Amino acid sequence: MPRYKLTIEYDGTPFVGWQHQTNGISVQSAIESAIEAFSREKVRLHAAGRTDAGVHAFGQVAHVDLEKHFPAYKIREALNYYLRPYPIVIIEAEETDDLFHARFSAVERSYCYKVLCRPAPPVLEKKRVWHIKRPLNVEMMQQAAMFLIGKHDFTTFRASECQASSPIRTLNRFKITQEGNLILFHVLALSFLHHQVRNMVGSLKLVGEGKWSPEDFKRALEAKNRQAGGPTAPPEGLYFIHVRY
């Protein structure tokens, strides 16, 4: 049974998230329907990571097993044809072996969160950034973010509905850069808790506004209590960037 690795880009705005939901169309269900349309096979996609409603992706990865063999480039072209009604594109399709698993073979995932700091709201990037009207202190936020690097109990930045068996995660990198009015939060780890990136960014915003010091942020992390953390940043600023295997 051939297995295919798909690299996927999508605008998460119209979707209820990656995973199947009963309250609307998901990215997963849209792609599975497109696969069925050209292959006449009902399939289940396995993704490197689930994204919430409104979250975008430049490099989501999924794999699918098909009964029939197709050249990889034909799968890419056929899927992009049937996905035309949706803001989803298959960047690349590759045939792989059954040892590859989109989720379990991953060794690192990267996300980027985008914040636009200016008085005027976005037009071209509407629903693609978190709009904050006032400037944020990037240097202070970067100082605070350094406390996140390494292995920690991230309960403070974990959603209450998170289903992970442990709140322990190891953050490999957290870098904050600024390009004009745009602030980018770059985060790398093997895996993340539900809402972890958005909760970390929401808490760092308090540092950037001067409401918290970097030491306050550290104390929030060490509290291991979601109530000690800041707000959850909205989904539209979050992007699934890349998976390393």
- 135 Cβ neighbours under 8 A, 6+ residues apart: 117
Query: Is residue 160 over pLDDT 90?
Result: no
**Local confidence band at 1 (pLDDT 50, 70, 90 cut-offs):** confident
Domain ranges of the chain: 3-96, 108-244
Confirm whether 97 is a catalytic residue. Answer: no
Q: Summarize the confidence of residues 195-214 as an average pLDDT.
A: 98
Would the pTM count as exceeding 0.75?
Answer: yes
Q: Which helix (H) or strand (E) holds 64?
A: strand 56-65
**Looking at the domain covering 108-244, what would its CATH class be?**
alpha beta
- 241 Cβ neighbours under 8 A, 6+ residues apart: 57, 58, 59, 110, 111, 112
Q: Which two tokens stand for residue 148?
A: 């996140």
3-96 and 108-244: identical CATH topology = yes
CA separation, residue 33 to residues 7, 13, 38 (Å) = 17, 19, 9
Q: Which is the catalytic residue, given 11, 52, 98, 153?
A: 52
pLDDT per residue over 51-110, tens digit each?
Answer: 999 999 999 999 999 999 999 999 999 999 999 999 999 999 999 999 999 999 999 999
Q: Summarize the confidence of residues 191-213 as an average pLDDT.
A: 98
Report the CATH number of the 3-96 domain: 3.30.70.580
